[in-house]
Structure 1
Amino acid sequence: MTEPAQFNHTDPVFISYRHSDGTATTAELAWLLRAAGIPVWRDVDDLPPGDTDERLKQAIDAGLSGAVLVITPDVERSRVIREVESPRLVNLHQTHNEFALGIVNAVQKESQSVDYEAPDRLLNLSSKTLAGVDQKANTRVGLISLIRGMLFHRIAQLRPAVEHDGTFKISVQTRNTPQVYDRTESELDIRVRPSSQGKLPSAEGLRDLADVIQFLPDTVTRASAKRVSITGGAHLSVALALGMALPASRIGHLEVIDQQGHLWKGDGIARMPDPPSLTLAAGETNAYPGDADGRSRVAVYLDLMSPRSDTAFQRFLDHGRQALRAWAHLRHATDDPLDPANAGALAAEAAYRIRELSSLHGNAEVDLMIRGPFAMAILVGSLLNTVRVTAHEWDDAERPVYVATLRLLASTTEGAIRDVLI
C-alpha cells in the first residue's frame, strides 16, 4: 500500500459505507462533518470515472486526515469495503497516530444495544483489531458525539501551526455543492448544505449547523489562537450566527476577508463613537405585554447599503407591530460604499445601539434584519453577547419580505443557535 508522504491535517475525512443500507446515515454524517468544518470524501460526490478499485485506492493514497467506517449489516457483502477500503484505512490508523478513525455502528445485539464486535466480524478482521477505535451508534446524538471527537483530534494536530502563526482560519460557504475540492486548507472549512428554497438557506443545513456550532468556541480556544480570520460567503443569518458563536469577549481579535480580498477587522467592544456613523429612526408601540415568559420584543433593521430599500422592513412592521415594544431603523450616514477600514467602529456602534434598545425594554429579544456585507454581519454578531436575537433573511419568492430564520444567543453551552425557524 502506498503511504502518504506527509500528513496534511486539513485533508478530508473518507467515509466508507454500504449503499444498500448505509446511504441515509452517511448523507447525514457527511453534512454534519461539513457543517463542523471538516471536509469530506464521499464516493457519490467525489469518485471520478474509471476503475472503481483503482480510483478508491488513489483517493485514499492521495491524502486523508481521517476516516469513518459506517458499519451496517450489509457491509459483509461488500468486496470493495472489505478488500479495498477498510484494509487501507485500518492500516493508516495503526501506523499513524495523526490519522483519526471513527466508527458509526448500526449493528445491534438482540438486546437492542450496539454490537461493538460487529466491525471486526463484518470486515473480516482479527478480533479486537478495532477495539480502541471510537464507536458511536447511528443516531443523531451518536453522530454528533463522533464529530466532536474528530474535530478536537483535528485541532490537536493543527495546534502547533496555529500557535506559530497566531491565526485560526475559518472558511465558510452556504451555497456550494458538496465536493472534496471545495476546501481551502483553513483550520475549518464550514460548508452548509445548499438550499432548494430560493434565496433562503437550507432548513436541513441550518439544523446541521445548529447541532455542531456548539463546538466552535472550544475548537478555537483549544488551538491557542490569537485571532480568528474568516473567509468565504454565507447567508446573513449564518454569518450572524457565526459571529455570535465567536463572541469578542471570549475569542478576542476577529477579522473577515471578503471575496475581493478586503480586510474587515472587529473592534472588540460595543461602543458609541463620536460622531456616530449611523442615523437612527425609531418608534415605540407600548402595546405588547411580552411573550409567555414575559420577555418583550423589539425590531432592528440595520441597512448598510445604497440605495436604501425599506419595503421588506416596512412590511414586517405593518404585520408585526402589535408584537413589538419598539423598533429602530439604522442606516449608514452616507450613501458612499462602506470602507472596510471603518468596519470595526461601524460594527461596534451597530452592536451598541442594538444592545441599548434591548436593554431599554427589559432585555427584549431582538428581531434583527441586516442588509449589508457578510463581513459586517459576523462582526456585529460577535458583539451581541447576552442579547437574544431572532435573525431574519430577506426573500422575494412572492414579494420582498423578511423571514424569521434562526433564534440566537451567544455564550451558551448548547451553541449559539437556539432554534431553526424555517
Structure 2
Amino acid sequence: MNDDGTSPAPSPVDLTDPVFISYRQSDGTDITAELAWMLRAAGIPVWRDRDDLPPGDTEARLEQAIADGLSGAILVVTPDVEKSEIVRFVEAPRLIDLHKAHPAFALGIANAIERVPGKLDYDAPDLVLAQRPKTLGGVDQHPSDRAGLRLLVQKMLWHRIAWQRDAIAAAGETFHLSVQTRNAPQVYDRTGHQLDIRIRPSLHEKLPSPDGLRDLKDTLGLLPDAITRAGASRVRVHGGAHLSVAFALGAAMPSSRVGEIQVIDQRQQTWASSHEAKVGISPLLLVNAEGTNPAPATTGRPSVAVYLDLLPQRSDDAFARYREENQHVVTAWEHLVYASDDLLDHTAAGEIAAEAAARIRTLSNNIGNAEVHLLLRCPFPIAVLLGRLLNTLRFVTYEWDDSVVPSGDDYRARYVPSMRVRPSAAGGAIEEVLLADGSDAP
C-alpha cells in the first residue's frame, strides 16, 4: 500500500510468482535452507537452485527462472559471496536491475556480515557484490539469524500482498490461499493464489515434520494481518493438510477477524463457515460416550479431551488407547459423532463446525476453562472451520499414527501430541510444537 493509503499502480510483475534466492553454497547453504522453508511456510513460493532449477549453466538457469516468472528476490550476503563470480556478476546485477525497473519486484537482503560482533555491516552487501557504494542502501536488509529472517519474510509478505489489493478487490474481495503439508514443496507446486502455504516434507508416513511445524509456528501469525492488508472480506482455502495444521490454520483466521471462510475440497465442493459457535434446533452431533475423573493427578489448569469423530466407519482403538494412557490427567472427556450414518453433507459444514465448537466450549467452561486435548477424525474442511470458532480457548492438537511400535505388544494406532494452539495468542495461533525431533524419521 502507498503512504496515502492507495494501492500501487499495476505492474508487469506477477505477484503470485516465486521469489528467487541468490547465495553462495560454501557458507550460505544453511541460511538459505532456513529462509526458503520460512518463506514457503508463510505462503511465498521459492526458486532455489537445489530444489527447483534444472541442470545446466547457472546463468541460463537464472534466465529460465526469470522467464518462468519471479515476483522478487533475496540476496543472501555471506563472506564467501566475494569469491562467487556467478553471484557477483550474473545473479545480483540482474536481480538488482529488475528491482530498479519494476517497483513491484521485491528485493531483500539476508546479511550475515557483521561490522563488530552483534552489529550488522550495512555497507557489506555493496562491497562483496561489487556494487557502487550506497547502491543497496534502500534495500531491506536484515540479519541472517532466525529473528532477522522472520522479519525479512514478513517484509516480503507485506510487499507481496500490497501489490495484490486491486486483484483481490476485483475478485469480490476474495483472498485465495492453498495449503499442503504432504507434498514435497518446490516451485512448480504453486497455484497462482495469493499464498501457497507449504512446510518441510516429513520422512514419517503419517506425522508432519517437527521442523516444518516450527516454520509454521514462526510465520502463521502473519496470516491474519496479510488478509487484513489485502482488504479481503472472504478467504477461500484450497488443498489439504494434516488435521492439526488445518485446525491451527482456522485458528489463525478467527471469525472475529475474517468475515467468511470457504474451504474448497478435492471435488471442488464448498464447505462454508458459520460465524458463531452454537447448537441448532436439530442437533447434528451426538455424544457417543463420555466420562469424568473428579480427582486427576495434575496441578494447574485442568484438561479435558474431545474426540471429534465424523467419519462413517468407526475407528475407536486409538482414542481408547489415549484414554487409557491419559485417564489420570484428564478431568472429563467426550466422544462426539455425526448424528447420521451417511457421509457429511458439505452444505451443512458451517452448522456442524458451529455445533462442535459450542460443545467443546461448553465442556471446557464447565471444567474451569480447561485446556482441550483435541483429537480429530474428520474431513480437512471441518478442521479448518472448527478452528476459527474457538477463540479464547487453549488446545493441544494430536495426529493419528498407526506406525508399528518398536517395543511392546500394543499394536493399536495412537494419537500423538502435535502442537499447542491458542487462537487468541498475540504471537500467532501456534504456541508450541510438541512433536519431538526425530518423530518423523522412518
Supply the distance in 2 between the matched residues of 1:62 and 1:303 (Cα, whole angstroms).
Answer: 44
Supply the distance in 2 between the matched residues of 1:63 and 1:381 (Cα, whole angstroms).
Answer: 35
Structure 2 residue corresponding to 1:104, chosen from 95, 110, 113? 110
Structure 2 residue corresponding to 1:375, chosen from 378, 381, 384? 381
Residues 328-378 of structure 1: CA distance to partner in whole angstroms, max 9, x if unpaired?
A: 000011221111111011010000000110000011000000101110000
User: What root-mean-square deviation, in Å, do the aligned CA atoms of Structure 1 and Structure 2 show?
Assistant: 1.1
Supply the distance in 2 between the matched residues of 1:122 and 1:61 (Cα, whole angstroms).
Answer: 27
Structure 2 residue corresponding to 1:160, chosen from 157, 162, 166? 166
Contact 1:21 1:74 in 2 (8 A): yes
Supply the distance in 2 between the matched residues of 1:178 and 1:367 (Cα, whole angstroms).
Answer: 30
1:410 partner amino acid: P
Residues 16-57 of structure 1: CA distance to partner in whole angstroms, max 9, x if unpaired?
A: 000000000000000000000000000011111233221212
Supply the distance in 2 between the matched residues of 1:178 and 1:328 (Cα, whole angstroms).
Answer: 37
Which deviates the most, 408-417 or 231-240? 408-417
Q: Do structure 1's residue 419 and structure 2's residue 420 form an aligned pair? A: no
Contact 1:290 1:297 in 2 (8 A): no
Q: CA deviation at 1:140?
A: 0.2
So what's the TM-score if we normalise by structure 1?
A: 0.97
User: Helix, strand or coil for the counterpart of 1:255?
Assistant: strand
2:268 partner amino acid: G
Q: CA deviation at 1:62?
A: 3.0
Q: Do structure 1's residue 95 and structure 2's residue 108 form an aligned pair? A: no
User: Helix, strand or coil for the counterpart of 2:41?
Assistant: helix
Supply the distance in 1 between the matched residues of 2:368 and 2:184 (Cα, whole angstroms).
Answer: 43
Match of 2:283 in 1: 276
Supply the distance in 2 between the matched residues of 1:289 and 1:271 (Cα, whole angstroms).
Answer: 32
Instruction: Kindly report which structure 2 residues correspond to 1:140-155, keeping only aligned pairs within 5 A, or say none.
Output: 140-155=146-161
Match of 1:28 in 2: 34
Supply the distance in 1 between the matched residues of 2:394 and 2:144 (Cα, whole angstroms).
Answer: 33
Structure 1 residue corresponding to 2:65, chosen from 53, 59, 74? 59
Match of 2:295 in 1: 287
Match of 1:266 in 2: 273
Which deviates the most, 170-179 or 45-54? 45-54
Q: Do structure 1's residue 211 and structure 2's residue 218 form an aligned pair? A: yes
Residues 228-263 of structure 1: CA distance to partner in whole angstroms, max 9, x if unpaired?
A: 100001000000000000011211111100111111
Aligned length: 416
Supply the distance in 2 between the matched residues of 1:411 and 1:219 (Cα, whole angstroms).
Answer: 17
What percent of counterpart residues are identical?
56
Gaps of 5+ in 1: none
Supply the distance in 2 between the matched residues of 1:110 and 1:350 (Cα, whole angstroms).
Answer: 56
Contact 2:425 2:431 in 1 (8 A): no
Residues 366-396 of structure 1: CA distance to partner in whole angstroms, max 9, x if unpaired?
A: 0000101110000011111111010000001
Contact 1:287 1:324 in 2 (8 A): no
Q: Do structure 1's residue 257 and structure 2's residue 264 form an aligned pair? A: yes
Gaps of 5+ in 2: 1-10, 405-410, 436-442
1:155 partner amino acid: I
Instruction: Kindly report which structure 2 residues correspond to 1:265-414, keeping only aligned pairs within 5 A, or say none.
Output: 265-280=272-287, 281-288=289-296, 290-291=298-299, 294-398=300-404, 399=411, 400-414=413-427
Contact 2:13 2:102 in 1 (8 A): no
Supply the distance in 2 between the matched residues of 1:178 and 1:252 (Cα, whole angstroms).
Answer: 30
Q: CA deviation at 1:290?
A: 4.7
Match of 2:254 in 1: 247
Supply the distance in 1 between the matched residues of 2:297 and 2:253 (Cα, whole angstroms).
Answer: 32
Q: CA deviation at 1:397?
A: 1.0
Which deviates the most, 103-112 or 242-251? 103-112
Contact 2:185 2:199 in 1 (8 A): no
User: Helix, strand or coil for the counterpart of 1:403?
Assistant: strand
1:416 partner amino acid: A
Contact 1:57 1:84 in 2 (8 A): no
Match of 2:199 in 1: 192
Structure 1 residue corresponding to 2:19, chosen from 1, 4, 13? 13
Supply the distance in 2 between the matched residues of 1:395 and 1:243 (Cα, whole angstroms).
Answer: 22
Match of 2:235 in 1: 228
Which deviates the most, 192-201 or 49-58? 49-58
Cα gap change, 1:120 to 1:61, in 2 (>3 Å): farther
Match of 2:45 in 1: 39
Residues 289-328 of structure 1: CA distance to partner in whole angstroms, max 9, x if unpaired?
A: 654xx21000000000021111000110011011011000
1:115 partner amino acid: D
Residues 102-154 of structure 1: CA distance to partner in whole angstroms, max 9, x if unpaired?
A: 00001122444211111100010000000011111110000000111110111
User: Helix, strand or coil for the counterpart of 1:386?
Assistant: coil
Q: CA deviation at 1:188?
A: 0.6
Q: CA deviation at 1:412?
A: 2.0
Q: CA deviation at 1:197?
A: 2.3
